[in-house]
Structure 1
C-alpha cells in the first residue's frame, strides 16, 4: 500500500547495507592474516576466492526463493511502459546522471584515495567502512520517517546536497581525522535517497507498468555507473586525486537541483 511502500523499501535496503558493512569489515582479513602465518598477498588471493564462493551462495539463495504468482488481473494487465513513459524517461535520465557521478567515488576508489593520501592501512579502512556502512544502513528507516513529513522528493534532495558538500570538503581537508569526519557525515546522508527513490518510481507509474519502470530506471543507472570509475582511475593516475571527489559532488548537486525542479510538484498518492 501507499502508506507502507517507502518503509518496505527502507527495510529491504537496511538488510543489504548491513551485510555490505560486514563485508567491508571482512576486508581487513589480509592484515589480520599475519597472525595465522599468511602473507598479505596470499590472504588477498583467498579473499577473491571467498568473494566467488559468496557469489555462488547468493545465486543458490535466489533460486530457492519461492515464486509468488500475481493475481490473474495483474498478470493480464502487466505491460511495458505506456501512460507513464514520459516521467520514467525523465527519471531514468536523472538517475543515470546520479549513478555516473557516484562512479567517481565508488568505495574501492575512495579507499585507494585514503591509502595514497594518508597511508591508511587495510584494516583501518575496513573498520572505517564498516561503521560508515552501518551508519548508512540505519539512515534508511530515518529516510522513510522523514519522507512521511516532508515528502519523497524533498527527502531525496535535501539529504543528498549536504552529503555532496561534505564529500567536496573532504577533498581539501588537511588531516585524516577531519577527512574521516566529513566522510562519516556523507555516509549518514548520501544513501537516504535509495529507498525513497525506489518508492517514488513505484508511486508515479501505474501498477501494470511497475516492473517495466523498475527495469528502465535501473539498467541505465548500471551502465552510467560503469563508465565513470575508468575516468576516476585516469585522474588518479595523473595525480589529480581530488578531482574525482569534486566531480562527483558537483554532478550530484546538479542532479538534485534538476530532480527538485522537474518533480517537486509531481506528488505520489500518499502526499496528495
Structure 2
C-alpha cells in the first residue's frame, strides 16, 4: 500500500513538472543586441562610442602625436640619426605590436565599424527624428575624420564600409585615393548639411556644423595635393570655395556655420577658452 501511495505521489509530481514547462515565461533582462539597437537609448549609447579614440587615445597620449608630428619639420634628428625612422622618415612602416602607428590604425578602424553600425541602423531607431538626424550626421562626420587621418598617414587605405563584425574582409584591398577622398567628402558634406551650429546637447565635445566645414576644407586641400578633382573642378578650387564661404559667414557673425573670431589673438590660449 505504501509503495502504491509513493508511486502515485511521484506520478503527480512528474505531471506538475511537465505542466510547468509549458508556461509562457518572459525574462525582461533577455534583450538581444538587435533589439537594443532598435531603441533610442541603445543606439545612442553606441553612437557615443564613435568618439572613443578621440578622448581615450588620439589627443590624450603621445602615440598619435608622434605619428602626426615626427615626420614634419617640427622635429629634427641629430646627425641624420635613423632612430625611430618609421616615424621620422616613413620607412619600414610595417605592423608592430604596441607601436604608436599600430594604435592609431587599430583604434581608427575599430571606430569606423561602430560608426557604420550607427549610420546603418538609424532608420530603424524609434525616437525623435531631429535627434536621430543630428546624431547620424555626427557619426558620418567622424567616419569622414577617421578615414581622413588614416589616409593622411598611411596613403591608399582600405575604406571601411561595413558594420562591426559583419562581412569581415579577410583579404582587404587598398582603395584608390580618388575613391577614398570622394567617400570622405560625401560624409563631410552630409554632416555639414545636417549638423546644427550648436553641438548636440550643448556639449562642446561633440562635432557641429563648423567642425564638418573645417574638415571638409582640409579634405579638399589634402586631396588637391594628390591632383584630384570633382566634376571637372580642381580640389584646390573646391577647398577655396568652402574656406571662403566659412570665412565670409564668420566675419558676418557666424549665422550659418557658427564660427566666430576672438578679438585678441591671446584669447586663443586663455584658460577660459580651453
Give the TM-score category using the shorter length.
under 0.3
TM-score (normalizing by structure 1): 0.27
More helix by share: 1
Greater C-alpha Rg: 2
Q: Report the TM-score when normalising by structure 2.
A: 0.27
Q: Looking at both structures, which has the greater relative contact order when contacts are Cα pairs under 8 Å and sequence separation is at least 6?
A: 1
